[in-house]
Every structure is written in structure tokens, then in C-alpha cells.
Structure 1
Amino acid sequence: MTVTHRGRARGCLLGLAAGDALGRPAENLSPEQIAARWGRLTEIDGGGTDDTEYTIFAASLLVRHGHALTPQDVALAYRQEIIPLVDGPMKGAGFSELGAIQALRRGLEPPLTGQWHRHGWSDGLAMRAAPYGIFAAGDPGEAARLVEIDGSVSNAGEGILGGRAVAGAVAAAMTGASPQEVVAAGLAVIPEDSWTARNVNRAREAVLDPAGSGGVAARLHEAVVVRHYPWTDLAPEAVALAFAAYLLGGGEVEESVVVAANLGRDADTTAAIAGALAGAGRGEAAVPERWARQIGPVEGRCLPVTAGRHVLDVADQLVEGT
């Protein structure tokens, strides 16, 4: 069956939202803890997190500004649409986004807003990078350029590279490329000697090494997880685990998302990224119907400005804007 451009866009964001929701209860857990609690986590119970809401916010930037998007546009949107609606602590936001908001409140401008808080390596940009790949479908370089503009407000260094890798990979997946080609496209838009690239390559080796000791989850954790660090939102780690899950799932939506969620760590983000890649590659019809029924309009718990919006409507808007 032929998959249309619109079907791929809708599949991408629906797969992202499904992965976000499936991975949410497994966030910060180990594969062993997940197995003890669920056996294998396969069913969605409730909505997603800031991953889906920030994805919707990022898409709105592209709908308004397209290829002419600037860091100043992004910073202004934060100041006008996010900051005025934040009453007290921001619920569910990642370190990089919290830091960016604090920096903007202090009057700083990008790229300093993504640098001064020292959490620029966070996977906050990677989690919302998919719309840039949809918008620049077939052009990984342009997708990476656009997502870096967004990332300059909240991230720096490896945090931006993680976003570039995901956006570039989604842009390739939107053409129906194979999972191996998709991962290669993500690697092609970041430096070969970067932490993110090294981790993705280590993860690929772990996936392709059936003779390795232990199960694949153990090999992946050994390859890319920073065990001594107390948080799980490291972009090089999350992107590598998401790409590995996508490869292990053979590009199929359900298996890619389930594998990612059951790897634990920042499970909502890794499953969201894997779902975005697989959904872009296979299209909306490949997202399990039982999952799709669970995805409704977001509630705006983290970003009130996104309340009431559905990822499928957002995907349609992105397609209309290209």
C-alpha cells in the first residue's frame, strides 16, 4: 500500500505521542524494574508528557515562520506564549526548557539562553525535533538547520546535536528510507567525533552483535548509559537508545516503541523518538489502533498554550505549510 506524505506526517506525530504515553510510567526505571512490574510494557494507560506538548509547540513555530524561522522568533514565542502562562514551578518540563525560561526571564537572548544554565546536553530538543523532519521531508540537512534554530534558545552542544540527529533521521524516514538509511541520515548531520555520534554507533554495534554477552538491553546499557549520572535525560544516551530500538523493531511502529519503552531510562522520550521515526516510515495506518484510540487532544499540563490540540491536526498543518 502506498503511504502518502500526509499519512507519513500523521504517522510520525501519532507514533511520537503513543511512544510518549507508553514510556511515561517507565521513565527513570531500569529494564529489570520494568520487567518486574509489567513483564513487558505494551499498553498505554493515560496521556503523554511534555514531549508531545513541546512537539506541538515546535510545530506551531514552523507553521508560522517556515524556513525563515529565527532564534528571535522562538525566543519571542517563549516570552509571549509560555512564560505568561507559567504559574509557579513549570510542571513536567525538562532541565533545558526550565533553564531557558529562567534565562529569558533574566533578559538573556539566544544562544546564551541555551548555554548559561549548563543543562544544554538535555534531550529536550531531541524530544521535539520530529516536526522539523516532517517540514523538511527528504532534506535532512535543512531539517537539522531548522531544529538547531529552535535549540539555540534552550540547548547547547550535544543537546543540539541530538536534536539535529533526530530531525535529520525523520526527514529521511519521511521518504520511506530503510531503518539503516534513516539512522545513517541522522548521523550524517552531526560530527563524527561527537558524543552523540559515538553513542549511536556503539548502539548500532550492540544491536548487530548477536554473539555479545547478555541480552540486547544489557548490551545497549553497557554501550551508552552513563550509570553514575543521577539523571536520565542525556541527549547522546536517549538518541542512541531510541535509534537502537527503531533498528531492533525493524522500523515497525509497535515493536520499535515497545522496545524503546522497555529499555527504561528516559523512556517517554526514547519511545517518542522511536515512534516518530517508525511512524514517519510506515505511516498513520501502521500505528496500532488500540494505541491511536488513546491519543486525544493534549491537556496542556506543562504548556497551557497547547491545550486542546491534537497531534493529527498539527501534522496536517505542517503538511499544508510545506
Structure 2
Amino acid sequence: MAPTARIPSVPAPGDALGRRERARGALLGLAVGDALGAPAENMKPSEIRARWGRITGYVAERPAGTDDTEYAIFSGLLLARHGSALTPAHVEAAWHEWIADRAEGPFRGAGFSERGTLENLRRGLAAPVSAQHRHAWSDGLAMRAAPYGVFAAGRPDEAARLAAVDGSVSHDGEGIYGGQAVAAGVAAAMAGAPVVAVVASALAVVPDDSWTARSLRRAVTAAHLGERAVRAAVVIGGYPWTDLAPEAVALAFGAYAAADGDFEQAVLTAVNMGRDADTTAAVAGALAGATRGAAAIPPAWSSAITPARGTCLPAMAGHHVLDIADLLTPETPA
């Protein structure tokens, strides 16, 4: 394993940002990144430039989060219900209650990993067998892992453990490592860790010789050279699927590192690199939002985020990410 950064369990002395402000930044940042990146999903940078020039804000008429935001809400509600006692059985039951045993939205469960998981659950398969499908390496866990970092603020190992419990129903191997890296990174950022320690915390919870770790190291090493260098260091050229967890997670951390934690720059860097742009921007937004807080998100972007529409998961309709952030960070009585 990579060396573990020592992350304080509470914000450092003199840190003006409290836990709730960071939690709101993380989950609102995720939703903003998701909405900004959605129109550019599966596109190449050249295609983005040809259509919009450089994306500097919302390009959709009605910006909204996609499955990334709705699955993150799903994970947040799971945590609010079970906390650190979360088990694979709890996760599996929630998949049945909120998705598999009811009508789906027009996205029909969204990504390939989610579709494979739902098909297996409906056939009566349980975790971890439910995760045995062709896309267990996808970024479907990474996109919903930020709430675990919010909940386990300052405890990257615990955030990674909880993300793996969630992922056992739908992912395996690199798919779980990607989710663990995101959860641990957000947990470190939630405690006021600097960017370098956030990255170190993510690397510390995944195998050092994993594809995820190798990609993440390449991305952050290239970060000072800008988004083209990050993309060149990570993207699997010629591969048709853009939801590879090692690629998407590395692009997100690379964007975050290139921006030195600045929210606007981190998210726009992720968006303009294309590929699985809604997920990479959502993860970069969660990391930068936890680092800088909700106030760092441009008001024109944050005000566009409304309660989830249930486009992918009807059961999540009406839940706002800020409400989930507050659920996961109950205020301590004075």
C-alpha cells in the first residue's frame, strides 16, 4: 500500500469551514459537476470544442443531475438509515426496495453495471454473486461513493470500508477500488486536508499495484501540465466504453489536482476532457466541494440544482442533495 497520510478527525485549528459546509459542498458539488458534464458525456475534447468551444458553464437548457446524482442520493439515504452498521444485506434490500422491485425511470437503471446488477437481483441472486456481470469494473460505485466520505469525515479507511460494503452488491475488483478511492479522498477533504493529502488518502486504501492506483498516480503526476496531459496519461485509446473506473476516477483526481482544489477549475477541467464527463466532473466536484465548501460553488451553478427528478430512479424523486448532506452531518447541540 502507499503511505497513509495522517488526516485529522476534525477540521484543523483555524479552519473556517465546518463539517456541514464541507458536506454541502461535496454533495452539491457532485450534483453540479454531474449536470455540467452530462451534455459532454462520451465525447472527445475535439467534439466538445467543435460544438461549444470550451465549456465554461451549463450548456443544457434545463441542467439537471443524471443517474450519478440519483445514485449518490441512494447511498446517502442508505447511510442515514444504517450508518456504520451498514451490511451487504442492507444494501441489497435497498436495491430491491428502491429500484429492482418497482418501476424504473426512462434511464432504466442507468449504466451497464447497474443494469447487470438489477438483472441478477431480479433473478434471485444475492451479493456478491449479484456483482458478477460484465461491467463490474465500471465507475458506477465511484459516482455514488462521496456520501461515504461525507459520513466518515476525517476517517478515510472507514469511508473506504463502507464504500466496499455498498459496492459488494454491484461491483468487483477495480470497480470497488475506484469507489474506495473516491470515498477516502472525500473523507480526507472533509477534514480540511490539503490536496496532496487527499490524493494520498485515496491511494492508501487501494492496492498499490492495482490499475486504479497506477492510473491515479499517472494522472496526478501529469496534473501540473494541464488537462491534455492528464487525459493522455490515463485514457485508454480506442476503447469504446468510457465508464472504466480506473480511468474515470483518475481523470477526476487529475482535474482536482490540476486545479489545486479550486472548485470551478476542477469541474470544468473534468468536463472538457470528455469521456464519462458527468461522472468525472461529479467526482471532481465532490472532492473540490469538500475541500472548499459550498460557498465556493458559483451561485449560478448551485441555484440550478433542484430536487432529483427521478429520471433514473423514481424512488429518489424529490430528494435534494443538500438535504442528504444535512442528514449525514447532524449538528451537535451546543
Q: TM-score, normalised by structure 2?
A: 0.91
Of 287, 290, 296, 2:306 maps to 296
Identical amino acids, percent of aligned pairs: 60
What residue is the counterpart of 1:275 in the other structure? 285
- Aligned residue in 2 for 1:47: 64
The CA distance in 1 between the partners of 2:146 and 2:16, in whole Å, is 22
| C-alpha separation in 2, matches of 1:309 and 1:301 | 12
Write out per-residue CA displacement over residues 189-219 of structure 1, whole angstroms, 9 at most, x where no aligned residue.
Answer: 00100000000111122223x4xxxxx3332
Cα 1:88–1:281, aligned 2, differ >3 Å: closer, same or farther? Answer: closer
1:163 equivalent in alignment to 2:179: yes
CA contact (8 A) 1:103 1:113 kept: yes
Counterparts in 2 of 1:87 and 1:126: CA distance versus 1, 3 Å: closer
When structure 1 is superposed on structure 2, of 49-58 and 31-40 the one drifting more is 31-40
AA aligned opposite 2:214:
R
Please show how residues 78-227 of structure 1 align to structure 2 within 5 Å. 78-87=95-104, 90-91=107-108, 93-115=110-132, 117-208=133-224, 210=225, 216-227=226-237
Q: In the TM superposition, what whole-angstrom CA distance separates every residue of 1:36-73 from its partner, at most 9, and x where no partner exists?
A: 21111121231011000000000000000000000010
TM-score normalized by the length of structure 1: 0.95
RMSD: 1.5
Which whole-Å CA distance do the structure 2 matches of 1:304 and 1:255 have between them? 32
From the two aligned structures, give the one with the greater helix fraction: 1
Report SS of the residue matched to 1:153. coil
Q: CA deviation at 1:87?
A: 4.6
Amino acid at match of 2:16: T
| Aligned-residue offset at 1:88 | 8.3
Between 58-67 and 87-96, report the one with greater CA deviation: 87-96
Give secondary structure in 2 for the equivalent of 1:154.
coil
Distance 1:22 1:92, change over 3 A: farther
Which piece of structure 1 moves more, 275-284 or 31-40? 31-40
Pair 1:37 & 2:51 matched? yes
Residue identity opposite 1:238 in structure 2: A
Aligned partners of 1:266 and 1:260: how far apart in 2? 9
- Kept in 2, the 8 Å contact 1:129–1:163? The answer is yes
Partner of 2:329, secondary structure, is: helix
Q: 1:175 to 1:77 in 2, by over 3 A?
A: same
Q: Give the Cα–Cα distance (whole angstroms) in 2 for the partners of residues 34 and 25 of structure 1.
A: 9
SS of 2:141 mapped into structure 1: helix
- What letter is aligned with 1:246? Y
Q: Does 1:316 align with 2:330?
A: no
Give the aligned residue type for 2:244.
L
Give, in whole Å, the separation in 2 of the partners of 1:118 and 1:96. 8
Q: Provide the secondary structure at the position in 2 that maps to 1:236.
A: helix
- The offset of 1:83, in angstroms, is 1.4
- Where does the alignment leave 5 or more consecutive residues of structure 1 unmatched? 211-215
**1: CA distance between counterparts of 2:266 and 2:234?**
18
* Contact 2:227–2:255 (8 Å) recurs in 1: no
Asked if the contact 2:105/2:310 (under 8 Å) is kept, the reply is: no
Aligned length: 315
Q: Is contact 1:253–1:287 with CA below 8 Å preserved after alignment? A: yes
Aligned residue type for 2:121? L
* Map of 2:261 onto structure 1: 251
